[in-house]
Structure 1
Amino acid sequence: MKIKNELLQACYNYANKRIANYKAEIETIKESIESNDKGGDEDDDSGNGKLFNDLEKNSQHLSEANKMLDGLKNINANTVSEKVIAGSVVKTTSNNFFISISAGKIDLEDSSFFAISHLSPIGMLLLGKGKGDTIEFNGNTFTITEVI
């Protein structure tokens, strides 16, 4: 269970860092809009238009990052299942996966894990599978050697 807790914490750190970055970017954009409004030429809206677009994009990214965080809250690192579920650590003949959020590669001690969403293409292939099952992804065949 230690490995699950460490992977879950790494995913929390990833999501929280994204949230903090988007919030900071949104504040910077808001400040730029305000300073443009105070001292700008009324005929020049092109700068604010781009800023409003950036604000909207960052707000959408912030919403997605908050959804990631909410998804992590549904994972119990102490849950044990023989079949792959959200929160499972899946070791295969090729790669190791943590079914959680799409957070990329996480290195722990002497192993690497890919934090993937259960909604990702490979995540959907792994769900419900158990030790000894095989999946094919992008022309590669993986055999599950362990589900934690």
Structure 2
Amino acid sequence: MKTKQLLLQICNEHVDKRITDYKNEIELIKDSIASNDKSNTEDDDSGNGKLFNDLEKNIEYLNNVQKTKEYLKLIKTNIEFKDVVLGSIVKTDSIHFYISTSIGKIDLEGETYYAISLQSPIGQLLKNKTVNSRFVFNDKTYLITEII
């Protein structure tokens, strides 16, 4: 269970950093808009129009990452399931996955895990699989050897 808790903590830290980065970027853009005396029409490619577009994009990114933060709260690290669900560690014959959010490679305690989302293509293949199940991804066959 300790490994699950550490993996979840790493995912949360990653998401928290992204939230902070987007908030900082939004503040920078707002400051630029406030200090920019150019036209604020959406058609203006060099003035506030571009800044407003950047602001909207960053607000959307922030909203998405905040949804990811809420999604991670659904993970229960103290429960083990027999099939692959949100929060599972899936060990295969060649790679380990942590079903959480798509942040990629995590090195922890001498092992490498790949944090992936259930909504990702490989997450969809793993969903509800059990130990000794096989699945094919990118023309490679994997055997699930353990689900924690």
For the superposition of Structure 1 and Structure 2, which TM-score range results when normalised by the shorter chain? over 0.9
For residues 40 and 96 of structure 2, the distance between their equivalents in structure 1, rounded to whole angstroms, comes to 56
1:26 deviation in Å? 0.1
Which one has the bigger helix percentage? Answer: 1
Q: Which residue of 2 aligns with 1:63?
A: 63
Counterpart of 2:97 in 1: which secondary structure? strand
Within 5 Å, which residues of 2 pair with 1:97-108?
97-108=97-108
Whether 1:85 aligns to 2:91 is no
The structure, 1 or 2, with the larger RCO (C-alpha pairs under 8 Å, 6+ apart) is: 1
TM-score (norm 2): 0.94
Q: Which residue of 2 aligns with 1:2?
A: 2
Whether 1:116 aligns to 2:116 is yes
For the 8 Å contact 2:104–2:116, the answer to whether it is kept is yes
For residues 43 and 63 of structure 1, the distance between their equivalents in structure 2, rounded to whole angstroms, comes to 24
Q: CA RMSD in A?
A: 1.4
Percent pairwise identity: 52
1:93 deviation in Å? 1.1
Counterpart of 2:129 in 1: which secondary structure? coil
Within 5 Å, which residues of 2 pair with 1:1-148?
1-36=1-36, 40-42=37-39, 45=44, 46-148=46-148
1:43 deviation in Å? 8.7
For residues 62 and 125 of structure 1, the distance between their equivalents in structure 2, rounded to whole angstroms, comes to 28
Offset from partner CA, 1:95-114 (integer Å, 9 cap, x none): 11000111111110211111
The one-letter code of the counterpart of 1:76 is K
- For structure 2, the residue ranges without an aligned partner over 5 or more in a row are none
The one-letter code of the counterpart of 1:137 is F
Count the aligned residue pairs. 145
Counterpart of 2:47 in 1: which secondary structure? helix
For residues 94 and 43 of structure 1, the distance between their equivalents in structure 2, rounded to whole angstroms, comes to 54
Go from structure 1 to structure 2 and tell me whether the alpha carbon gap of 1:145 and 1:43 turns closer, same or farther (over 3 Å shift): closer
Go from structure 1 to structure 2 and tell me whether the alpha carbon gap of 1:94 and 1:49 turns closer, same or farther (over 3 Å shift): same
Counterpart of 2:12 in 1: which secondary structure? helix
Go from structure 1 to structure 2 and tell me whether the alpha carbon gap of 1:53 and 1:90 turns closer, same or farther (over 3 Å shift): same
Go from structure 1 to structure 2 and tell me whether the alpha carbon gap of 1:147 and 1:33 turns closer, same or farther (over 3 Å shift): same
For residues 92 and 115 of structure 1, the distance between their equivalents in structure 2, rounded to whole angstroms, comes to 14
- For structure 1, the residue ranges without an aligned partner over 5 or more in a row are none
